[in-house]
Amino acid sequence: MTEHLLDELAWRGLISQTTGDDELRAALDEGPITLYCGFDPTAPSLHIGNLVQILTVRRFQLAGHKPLMLVGGATGLIGDPKMAGERTLNPVEVVHQWVERIRGQIEPFMSFEGDNAARMVNNYEWTKDMSAIELLRDVGKYFRLGTMIAKDTVARRLNSDEGISYTEFSYQVMQGMDYLELYRRYGCTLQTGGSDQWGNLTSGTELTRKAEGVSVHALSTPLITKADGTKFGKTESGTVWLDAAMTSPYAFYQFWLNQADADVISYIKVFTFLSREEIEALEVKVAEEPFRREAQRTLAWEVTTLVHGEAAAQGAVDASQALFGRGELGSLDESTLAGCAQELGGAEVPAGTTIVDALVAAGIVDSKSAARRSVQEGGAYVNNERVDDPDLVLGAEHALAGGWVVVRRGKKSVGIVRPVA
């Protein structure tokens, strides 16, 4: 017997709250439903937190349901209230550009064919011609101020020194209106989103109930955290983006590869489509042979392939091996090496730089004396070739694609530099 979708989502740790478990289960059992999830263009790229929502909706589509993927050309002009401080309002033309970029990031995850084909929608379409009078009379009359003030983010902001603007306070009206409009246009009866969006999700269910007299559903996913409770999705260099130009496939792959044993199985459940049997087998390997890091390698491969494609994932694997002397650096292309530089903190150095200066510039050693000692002891490498001359100058003969040169001390301390005139 096929596992019920809600049971699978629960096993994967993807259910935080619903407007009613039994009611939602019954609605799913009655036949395919139409659901939606919204993404605001508040940056030029989505990040891996957004990926949770995309993949959750994809699971609904694989179970036969019909997704609406909303990119908020209107709500993105306002900005969902943050816990602290007002968002910067971006120019209209910038937001519209970001809408198209984000649309392009979402589309590869969805199927746009068949009886349950996905549809991309933009809330700018039904808000751009609406007057303030229409918004207040036709939508605003259904909202109660006490309920709006009680929303977690709004309540916190009202009690802060910054306060909250009427613009951001009104965001929940705009998002609630989206649900109502999608119900009227497409019969949408479920919205999904992160648990931090619960107040906005229920604004939509309440508005639709009051305006149309029907009960619709909401489902939130937990915010992803590490086992120690700290924030997930950040590195020393910042947010992990889906855009390859903002987070390279190599850096993306390394992010997943570096996850702790305590976290890796829960992330595999959330971010991959591996079966329960496959995941449970990996869980055994984490417990019995953690040093092999097979679960981490599986996670990194699966998610990088999902987001960037198999060729990029293989490039990241090849680069990872080559950097540490287990592959051919000369086979790496310029974009891959640039991604390595982004991840490793690659430095530009003056033409004529010696291996000693390069080791310091790459952050591998703290001083020239330590670098010189590494060379003299036989522990320094240029492009995986051992060097024994501390006065060796990095020249054109050492340049890899894009002019990069990989320097290494011992087996594990790797850096990358680029001599420039």
Residue 324: the pLDDT is: 86
Task: Tell whether 159 is covered by a domain.
Answer: yes
CATH of the domain at 364: 3.10.290.10
Q: Which domain holds residue 140?
A: 5-221
CA distance 265 to 279: 7
Task: Tell whether 406 is covered by a domain.
Answer: yes
Q: Which residues of the chain have pLDDT under 50?
A: none
Residues 6+ apart with CB under 8 A from 415: 344, 345, 346, 347, 358, 359, 361, 362, 363, 364, 406, 407, 408
Is residue 352 located within the same domain as residue 303? no
Is residue 198 located within the same domain as residue 242? no
What predicted TM-score, i.e. pTM, was given to this entire model? 0.91
What's the number of CA atoms in the CB half-sphere (13 Å) around residue 276? 9
Environment class of 155 (CB within 10 Å of its CB; exposed 0-12, middle 13-18, buried 19+): middle
Residue 1: the pLDDT is: 55
255-294 burial, b if ≥16 CB within 10 A, otherwise e? Answer: bbbebeeebbbbbbbbbbebeeeebeebbeebeeeeeebe
Task: Tell whether 394 is covered by a domain.
Answer: yes
CATH of the domain at 183: 3.40.50.620
Helix (H, G, I), strand (E, B) or coil at 252: helix
- Domain boundary pick from 173, 200, 221: 221
Is residue 141 located within the same domain as residue 274? no
Residue 267: the pLDDT is: 97
CA distance 305 to 79: 31
Is residue 118 located within the same domain as residue 240? no
Is residue 208 located within the same domain as residue 96? yes
Task: Tell whether 337 is covered by a domain.
Answer: no
- Domain boundary pick from 221, 245, 264: 221
Q: What total of structural domains would you count in the chain?
A: 3
Is residue 317 located within the same domain as residue 272? yes
Q: Would you give the DSSP letter of residue 159?
A: T
Task: Tell whether 167 is covered by a domain.
Answer: yes
What confidence tens digit (pLDDT) does each residue in 137-171 have?
999 999 999 899 988 888 888 888 888 999 999 99
Is residue 186 located within the same domain as residue 248? no
Q: Would you give the DSSP letter of residue 118?
A: -
Is residue 83 located within the same domain as residue 160? yes
Is residue 62 located within the same domain as residue 204? yes
Task: Tell whether 340 is covered by a domain.
Answer: no
Is residue 29 located within the same domain as residue 168? yes
Is residue 283 located within the same domain as residue 357? no
Assess contact for 167 and 78: CB atoms under 8 A: yes
Task: Tell whether 232 is covered by a domain.
Answer: yes
- Domain boundary pick from 221, 256, 291: 221
Token pair belonging to 373 = 């000692």
Task: Tell whether 336 is covered by a domain.
Answer: no
CATH of the domain at 277: 1.10.240.10
Which residue, among 91, 205, 217, 231, has the nearest Cα to 147 in the 3D structure?
205
Is residue 72 located within the same domain as residue 215? yes
